[in-house]
């Protein structure tokens, strides 16, 4: 269990229960696209339980989905104190981000990696939004009610067609008794 008193929900500066485990998806998932790191697919069930937060990442500009995943992302670095990290291969961009946030308490950077940089910053909504904007974090797709209705209408033609792959109609199997 984590005792993160500074957690927020939905990017709206609402406090969460401090005894729940931290999650990027629960905290900032309404604003940013949150993916699971590629090694999540290869972990066993007992290793995954309760460890989801360590695999959640917010992809940034230049991120290439895998396998193998490459490029900049924001992810959890520490739960106590709650700290996020920006990992990037764009060192020039990282230095400009560092110049913007280095006066905030609890921030630090490591530029001594070979062609990569890491910036560590506290889990506050203001600082995450600033870093995410400068790093080009992927935003979550938000549909207007009209566009959502249009997509629903377009999907109605194929939703219950048993001959199409992905249809919601369950086909009968050989073990089922035939109907009257």
pLDDT in tens, 106-123: 899 998 888 888 999 888
The answer to whether the CB of 51 falls within 8 A of the CB of 77 is: no
SS (H, E, C) 82-109: EEEEEEECCHHHHHHHHHHHCCCCCCEE
Q: Which residues sit opposite 84 in a β-bridge?
A: 76, 121
Q: What φ, ψ does residue 83 adopt, rounded to 5°? A: -135, 140
Q: Is the pLDDT of residue 55 over 70?
A: yes
Q: What φ, ψ does residue 139 adopt, rounded to 5°? A: -85, 155
pLDDT in tens, 28-46: 777 888 888 877 766 766 7
The answer to whether the CB of 107 falls within 8 A of the CB of 90 is: no
More confident residue, 7 or 89: 89
Q: Is the pLDDT of residue 69 over 80?
A: no
Residue partners of 177: CB distance under 8 A and separation at least 6: none
Average pLDDT over residues 128-138: 89
Residue 83 — very low, low, confident or very high, per pLDDT cuts 50/70/90? confident
Q: Which residues sit opposite 118 in a β-bridge?
A: 87, 110
How many Å apart are CA 54 and CA 36, to the nearest integer? 9
CATH class of 8-135: alpha beta
How many Å apart are CA 28 and CA 30, to the nearest integer? 6
């Amino acid at each position: 269990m984590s005792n993160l008193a500074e957690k927020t929900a939905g990017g709206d500066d609402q406090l969460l229960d401090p005894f729940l485990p931290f999650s990027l998806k629960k905290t900032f998932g309404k604003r940013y696209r949150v993916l699971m790191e590629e090694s999540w697919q290869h972990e066993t069930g007992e290793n995954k339980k309760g460890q989801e937060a360590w695999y959640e990442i917010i992809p940034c500009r230049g991120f290439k989905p895998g396998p193998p995943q490459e490029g900049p992302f924001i992810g959890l670095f520490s739960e106590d104190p709650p700290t996020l990290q920006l990992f990037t291969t764009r060192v020039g961009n990282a230095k400009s981000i560092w110049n913007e946030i280095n006066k905030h308490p609890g921030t630090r950077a490591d530029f001594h990696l070979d062609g990569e940089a890491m910036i560590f910053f506290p889990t506050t909504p203001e600082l995450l939004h600033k870093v995410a904007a400068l790093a080009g974090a992927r935003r979550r797709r938000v549909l207007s009610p009209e566009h959502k209705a249009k997509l629903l209408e377009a999907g109605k033609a194929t939703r219950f067609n048993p001959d199409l792959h992905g249809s919601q109609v369950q086909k009968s199997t050989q073990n089922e008794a035939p109907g009257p």
